[in-house]
Amino acid sequence: MSRRVTMDDVAARAGVSKYAVSKALSGQSGVSEQTRERILGVATDLGYVQQRRLHGRYERSGSTAVGLPSRDKRSVMVLMPNIRLQSLESHYWGRIVDGIAQALKARNLFMIIATEYSHEGWSSIFNAEELIGVIVVGTISGPMLQEVSTMGLPVVMVDHEDERFVCDMVFADNVDGAGRMASHLLGLGHERLQFVGDVHFSRSFHERWLGVRLVLESRGVAWRQDERLLGVYCPAWETTRDELVAILSDLRSCGTMPTALLCANDDLALATVSALRVIGLRVPDDVSVTGFDNIEDAEVCDPPLTTMNVVKEELGERAVEMILRRRDNPSSMFEKVFLFTELIQRTSVASPHRVETV
C-alpha cells in the first residue's frame, strides 16, 4: 500500500513552510493568492487534497460515527457567482435554481442561497454541521472552491468543473447538442457557418464551440472561423450588438458573410438577429441564426429562434439527487452526469441564400 501524502510533502514540493500550506489549504489569510494557487496545485498533483476530502469529510465532532452523516440535517446551500449573468434573474441559471428548490421541497428539505463575494473566512459564516452539502451553480473561482472544501461537506457542481477540485458534477451535454445543431444546418445545405460567442467565457460556451468544430471537421467541410466572433460576449446587450454590427458588416463587405450563425446561447442569438437587421439583412431569408438554452425569449422573439433546449430545472433536480446520494454513500465513486439537449426547430433557420456584398 502506498504511503499517504502528508502536509510536509506538499510543503517540500512547493518550497514553502508547513505553516503556509496549512493557511492556504484552510482558506485563511496570510499567504498571497499566487502562493495559495501554487500550494493548491502541488497538493492536487500529489493527491493530498483528494485524500484529505475522502478521509476527513465526515470526521466532525458530535457525529454519531466517522463516515456516517447526520440524519437531522435539513438544508442544502446553493452557491452562485456574484455576477449579473449568473444570477437568480437569469432565464438559464434561475431555472436551474428553481429545479433545486422544487426537488428539495418535495423532500421536505430547505435551501440556503449564497453568492460569491470574498472567499476569505467565508466558510466561518455558516455552520457546516447544519448543512447536507453545497451545490455550486455556474462558474466559480478557485479560491472560493478551496474555501468550500474546508467545510468538509459533499459538493455538487452544475455546469462547472475545476481540475483541482474533484466532486460530483452535472452538465447539459453541450458538445453533443451543438454538434447536432451543426448537423441540422449542414443537412439544410449550409456550409458557410460561423460560431458566435466568447469561448473563454464559460465551460459551456467552449464545449458548444468544440461540438460545432467536431462535426464540421468530421464531415470534411472546408471552413474558416472568424476569430473575432469567438470573443464576443458582454453583459451589456447593446455593446454585444454593436460589436456584432461591426464584425458582420466587415464580413459582408469582404464577401465572406456566412449563411448561418451558430450562437453560444440565446441571448447572443437575439443580439445577432438585431445586428443583422442594423446592416440590412433579414433572418432567415438572408442569414440563418441559431441559439442554445431555449430561454423564454427564444420562443416569443421575431423570428422565433431555432435553439437547443436545455432541461434547466432537471439539472437542478439531478444536482439534489447527487448531493443526497453523496450524503448517504460518502465513499462511492464520484459521478459526472451529462443530460441530453433537444433540438427545437423554429423560423430563424431556412435553406441558405447568397448574401451580396455592399
Q: Which residue has the higher pLDDT, 174 or 48?
A: 174
Whether the pLDDT of residue 323 is over 50: the answer is yes
Is position 290 within any domain?
yes
Is position 283 within any domain?
yes
Is position 234 within any domain?
yes
* Averaged pLDDT, 257-275: 96
Whether the pLDDT of residue 146 is over 70: the answer is yes
Q: Residue 70: pLDDT band by 50, 70, 90 thresholds? A: very low
Rounded Cα–Cα distance for residues 161 and 164 (Å): 9
Whether the pLDDT of residue 161 is over 60: the answer is yes
* Residues spanned by the domain of 36: 1-56
Is position 50 within any domain?
yes
pLDDT value of residue 23: 67
CATH number reported for the structural domain that contains residue 23 in this entry: 1.10.260.40
Express each pLDDT in 188-245 by its tens digit.
999 899 999 999 988 899 999 999 999 999 999 988 999 999 999 877 788 999 999 9
Is position 352 within any domain?
no
pTM: 0.75
Number of domains in the chain: 2
171 contact partners, CB below 8 Å, separation of at least 6: 158, 159, 203, 204, 315, 336, 337, 338, 339
* 125: helix, strand or coil: helix
Is position 22 within any domain?
yes
Q: Among residues 167, 169, 224, 152, which one has the least CA distance to residue 192?
A: 224
Is position 38 within any domain?
yes
CATH number reported for the structural domain that contains residue 187 in this entry: 3.40.50.2300
Is position 243 within any domain?
yes
